[in-house]
Structure 1
């Protein structure tokens, strides 16, 4: 590390001395570690390569890509020299340390620097506005490891909330309720199988409900005692079965069944479905069980 820094300092002094740019040395030094690293890596790869151990691997030998890798690192070093030099010139001009004419006059003392000074005067505006030269940082190539992209900006506030309003607190949610295990009384032990069958039927009926059917049943329950009128219950069942039959006919007709065959199958399917539908005892929803509940 120390040897590389010393080599880089000597190299920068030599380059700037040839070009008559001693005034920008302080802006040039910061990028020397990157510059030297590229050259050292390129020379190391070219000199050592990747050799197999003689006698152990009959296919051992120099890596065929050594030349390309070494050339890549050295080319990056050349690129770093140019960008670092131009960036140092821009830093010198934009930080109030001098102007292009003064710097060009200094470069006239060098035969090689004179041409660069004239070119700098002609392109001063383009140099000072070039984004890559505002802060001469490390150059990235396609072979370098890509850095992860920056995190996305926060989403804009919803239309009904101003940008200066704080974000509302999120709902913590309701605590999960643990339902106690259902236990039969001693005098009803003989009905255990029947309870299990009814619970299973209710579960199957609930799982077979659509959202619309659930909401309709819930509304009927919340409307009050009117839902307990037997005539209303019968009319509701008839209306539901007729609608279900028509939906099934339409579905079967779309499968190229004849009108009579579709109606016949729909009637059987409706009868089977209605035989597994009944109101819950509360009554809240439709669920599995007997088609008609006594006393309801």
Structure 2
């Protein structure tokens, strides 16, 4: 009966397959060779099939053994993760960590930090969400995020604590085929010039920026919900807008986008703001969130990375 299978039997089967002999497997597991051999034989009896061909000097996986090896490894991995999650629950470790990041913050930095988190706490599940403008703060205050990354100082809240991470840069650009592109290359572009064309801006699904504008100069606006959508429309020549420098570096280098050096949008058409790690004052960080906080701080300080800025622009 398969109900009689044990994890110990599967672990010994995998050890023999990987070591290539019962003796070496026994050494790795700190078990007697006879115990390993007996356990694998019992497993074969339970499964009703031979896992190893023992006719030669060393055991060789049978066709059935090769087919069942990966399944056995998978079951053992799932069991180890179950144990780790149970231990974490007993020690106060989060089962799940929800992170909300401003779309202006470099994704590469978040990815590296979450990679470190996974290595340190493999049992913790992570939900990574991205948001614009007031969304990160709104998610924290609404209890739908455990930790957030915000950009800029416009949307502070006394119920949240903010810790500076790294400067972020926002650049005003237009597609190479747009009428503004030639003027930008030749004589520069004024705020009046920009007002005559469509500006691609971000929408804030939260209510925190209602009635507020950030860097909006044109009455003709196309609204989008992400930086990726905004980039595609600007590339296509629909209008101009402000985008995070880390996102458009390749486009500028390849000539697909053109810088708009307008003083009304910062020196040379660029503005710099700070990004912040935010959390609720009434909710101390639990182990995984605290680890992520330190990982982010270490990455931006040691690596000296610089990213983007905020907008509705």
Q: Fold conserved (TM > 0.5)?
A: no
Q: Which has the higher contact order (CA 8 A, sep 6+)?
A: 2
- Calculate the TM-score normalised by the size of structure 2: 0.19
Higher strand share: 2
Higher helix share: 1
